[in-house]
Structure 1
Amino acid sequence: MKTMLVTGGTDGIGKGIATHFLKKGDRVIVIGSSTIKGELFLNEARQLGAEERAVFMQANLSLVKENKRIIEEVKNRFSCLDRVVFCATNHKTRTEYSETEEGFEFNFGLAYLSRFVLSYGLTEILEKADYPVILNVCAPGMNGTVNLHDIQNKSNYKGANVKYHGSRLNDLLGVGFAHNNVVGKIKYILFNPWAVQTSGTFEAIENPLMKNIMKLIYKTIGKPVEEAIVPIIELLENPPISSLSAYKQRKEVSLAMTTFDKDNAQKLYNKTVQLLK
């Protein structure tokens, strides 16, 4: 039996992955912000006869202190961690710059900083597994740049662009992690699921007309969760040999793209460490 942790595991892709591996017989730790959705997940686990292998931990992952609490709780309760999957996100587009109580821009805290803290914070317990994997669901394979002078978009905030910027930050997170993880045992995978038919995508859209248009678009080009997670499951069960890889659905993304620049990755790592101090 393997042990895996899934952030954002009470909804959409995360829940689909968590449920699949519960059915397979693994232990699954799900992290989510809603206790109600957490209870629903545990109830579904009971119906599957998997209640002893299902764990829900409530946390606001936009806060660094909450990520650190989760790391300590996982280390205290489990001796080994085989897989970590990052799916936690917020689909709502914020029109104005807003900060968490810790002073970080909200999307920066949730979409990037949480994944940074968990990646490095869980390294020790992951390295106790035979074949540890971190899979980061973001959007590799897309063009774009990271503004290293304003990584939280404070001076030029545009809500519609912030999420794309977050994915570029995660591109560099993967590169930096693979470089800084000297043991090299953990396989870090960046994964772009493309368009997926999840309820959260539509719930975040306030304009009724735009919501209907998006539903029509996703119905045409989007995949249901059950189909979208198939290549993720394949990668988790048979990870690539290289320490870092990136995929857009089943197509491997070239790490020669400028979005994976090693110098920028190290600069971002240094800036992030300074911010966390």
Structure 2
Amino acid sequence: MNIVRPKKKLGQHFLRDQNIARKIVDNLRGPIPDVLEVGPGMGVLTRFLLQRPELNVHVVEIDTESVEYLKTHFPELHNKIYSHDFLKWEARQLPELFSIIGNFPYNISSQIFFRILAWRHRVPEVVCMVQKEVAERISAPPGSKTYGILSVLLGAFYNIEYLFAVSEQVFVPPPKVKSAVIRLTRNPVEELSCNEALFFQTVKAAFNKRRKMLRNSLGEKGLELPEPFAEKRPEQLSVADFIELTKLIQNLKKTENGI
């Protein structure tokens, strides 16, 4: 098998620029030896990962045609090619700690990030290429129009760096949008100082009605937000603000329930 056909239903756009592939791999900095590549396709990143002797490379790929290509062209991967859907896979074959790298399919990139959040205690570093708009949204600071759910949720547990943009012309087939590479590095926060499930719920609820003030987007019957949060919109709140807001909601609900 000399080539894998890109499949539209899988959102496949194969990077063909070797210099960009090397640059992406070079941005994987962490000391963790085990690295999981998500959706390697024909192995444009895999080739450079395998050139780094300090890395123990694993790959997960949903496309069976790509899996056969990888087995043929990268025999050194041996039994470290996992033919699974990353979004449903439990990664039990991997060590406790592993970094993640990949050119994420645009159509499921948000779902991949939520999966990474679920594994945040196992994943100290992520280097990935995504749609440029998504990269800008994730790395946006509070107050920005593009600041949103993933900016806050990922920012609670990772330091986020926007690295560089990538032209659509270096892919086969070319996507209709530009791409960009970002790096996530785990911060020291082991647990938030609030109810984490309520934190996730609060952030999502606030941004689902991002044009409304928080008293309207988060206010429930009998639950009135006090200042300074009531008159603010979600993009005005930092991660620390959302943590404080979550604590406040937690206490208000306890009071409401007579606890």
- Shorter-chain TM-score category? 0.3 to 0.5
Q: Report the structure, 1 or 2, having the larger helix content.
A: 1
TM-score (norm. length: structure 1): 0.44
TM norm structure 2: 0.46
Q: Which has the higher contact order (CA 8 A, sep 6+)?
A: 1
Structure label with greater radius of gyration: 2
